[in-house]
Structures are given as structure tokens and as C-alpha cells.
Amino acid sequence: MSDDAPCLTHLSETGKADMVDVGQKAVTERRATAEGSIRMQPETLALILSGNAKKGDVIATARLAGIMAAKKTADLIPLCHPLMLTRIAVDITPMEDLPGLHVTATVGLAGQTGVEMEALTAVSVACLTIYDMAKAVDRAMEIGAVRLVAKSGGKSGDFNREAL
């Protein structure tokens, strides 16, 4: 296999799982944005938006859960590096046509490794928190389309889903 061929970076030559050594990589500004959604009954969305959910403010709690999750990604995902994040933004937007909520997370830092996993974890946990807080009224909610939207910085360069 040539040095330019794609390979799984978390596997050693013998197939053993390894944390990537980023010690020699340059410190660069890195940013990643991920998104996901949670589909629900229109009545569930209305209840969440009214602020009258039994467990409290669903959107504010889910935002905080997403932020906390981004900071804890290395504790949740094996082989992820603990990172000193400098930016975490979680936005939750109602989508009447879904019906449901659209979750976006943007994470950034100046570091030696990317923040895609932190952005994806933030979105996933925010969606799970919404489900947890509203499951008493709608167990049929569906979490979907969790994906990387964009990333910048680092040796691998930029990625933008819209450019695909």
C-alpha cells in the first residue's frame, strides 16, 4: 500500500487499536460543524416550544448537554484525544415541516488534532437529551441524519458537505 492510499488511522500495522500520536503535528486553528435532527409529533414540538414540558426547558437543557458532551468526548469515545476546546456552540432550531428540532454544533480550538468527534458528540447528546426529556409524551421520536457538515484546519484540509 502506498503512503497516499487511504487507511484507518487508529489501527497499527498489526491491526491493534492505537491512539494516533499527534505530538509532531503543527498547531493550527481547527473547526468542525455537525448537524442532526429529531423528528416528533407536532404536538410534542408545540409542547417543547411552549416551555411547559414536565421536565423543564427542553431546548436549554439539550444545548447545555451538547456543550458538556463536546467537552467529555475523550471520556466517551475510545482513542479520542482530550482537547482544550476554545469554542462550542450548540444551536437548536424548530422545524415545523419535519416536525421536530434541528441541532447544529460548532466546535473549535487551536491544536494538533481535529474536533469532528466533539461536534458529532455534541449533536448526538443534545438529540438524546431532547428524547429523554420528551419521551413521556412521544416515544416514537426519531433521531436522524447526524453528520459532519464542515471541518477546517489540519493536514487533511477543509471539508464541506455542500461542496460534494
Helix (H) or strand (E) holding 87: strand 87-95
62 close to 129: Cβ distance less than 8 angstroms: yes
Q: Is the peptide bond before 99 cis (omega within 30 degrees of 0)?
A: yes
My answer on whether omega of the bond before 78 falls inside 30° of 0, hence cis, is no
The verdict on whether 132 is a catalytic residue reads yes
| Whole-number Å distance between alpha carbons of 125 and 68 | 9
DSSP state of 163: G
Annotated catalytic residue: which of 3, 4, 18, 132? 132
DSSP letter for each residue of 11-23: B-TTS-B-----T
**Residues recognised as catalytic:** 132
